[in-house]
């Protein structure tokens, strides 16, 4: 197994250029993914993620924040595979319905691949969807599904194509 280089950096949704550049590079390579995590106030997050009595008895509670993952479309046996966005979130069942009620509807032409209480939401974007549109939707959806106040910053964790060399 070839190790992947990982690059981490912070950004704000109003200035997503570095994330978009990576989306372009990963798409060209048809390999890699980007995890996107919203900034949260640590003290606020600790208070809202403390397990309740039910969770202590019957299993761990889920985190109150979200993590979005954008996965570049792959080439190969399933040529034409489309990019995907996955969101692990604390909101439980029917995330797509909840997002629509929160003003973050799924764009036309996008397909829900999974909407599960524990495994999260996975949506598939059309192959011609602009990276800026996909990123904006992912950030809006991730922020809407979070259950703690967010700081407005995000952290990107870029998992570069297998075997790639870090830019120097």
Taking only the tens place, the pLDDT of each residue in 69-122 is 999 988 765 545 889 999 999 988 899 999 999 999 999 999 999 998 888 999
Calculated CA dihedral for residues 115, 119, 123, 127, nearest 10 degrees: -150
DSSP reduced 3-state for 136: helix
Closest by CA position to 159, among listed 67, 73, 32 = 32
Q: Distance (Å, rounded) from C-alpha 149 to C-alpha 103?
A: 17
Whole-structure pTM value: 0.84
Q: Using DSSP, how many helices (H) and how many strands (E) does the chain show?
A: 5, 7
Does residue 64 have a pLDDT over 90? no
Q: Distance (Å, rounded) from C-alpha 64 to C-alpha 96?
A: 18
Residues 85 and 138: beta-carbon distance below 8 Å: yes
Q: Distance (Å, rounded) from C-alpha 100 to C-alpha 115?
A: 13
Identify the band that residue 52 occupies on the pLDDT scale cut at 50, 70 and 90: very low
Does residue 55 have a pLDDT over 50? no
Q: Distance (Å, rounded) from C-alpha 34 to C-alpha 17?
A: 14
Average pLDDT, the chain: 85
- The edge-to-edge listing of strands for the beta sheet with 150-159 is 6-11, 150-159, 33-40, 67-71, 84-88, 120-124, 111-116
Calculated CA dihedral for residues 32, 15, 45, 94, nearest 10 degrees: -60
């Amino acid at each position: 197994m070839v190790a992947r280089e990982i690059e981490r950096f912070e950004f704000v949704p109003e200035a997503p250029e570095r994330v978009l550049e990576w989306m372009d590079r990963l798409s060209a390579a048809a390999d890699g993914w980007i995890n996107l995590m919203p900034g949260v106030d640590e003290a606020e997050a600790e208070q809202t993620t403390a397990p309740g009595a039910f969770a202590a008895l019957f299993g761990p509670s889920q985190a109150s924040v979200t993590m979005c993952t954008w996965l570049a479309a792959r080439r190969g046996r399933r040529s034409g595979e489309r990019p995907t966005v996955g969101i692990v979130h604390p909101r439980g069942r029917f995330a797509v319905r909840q997002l629509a009620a929160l003003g973050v509807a799924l764009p036309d032409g996008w397909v829900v691949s999974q909407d599960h209480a524990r495994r999260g939401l996975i949506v598939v974007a059309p192959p011609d969807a602009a990276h800026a549109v996909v990123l904006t939707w992912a950030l809006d959806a991730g922020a809407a599904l979070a259950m703690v106040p967010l700081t407005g910053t995000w952290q990107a964790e870029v998992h570069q194509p297998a075997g790639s060399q870090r830019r120097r």
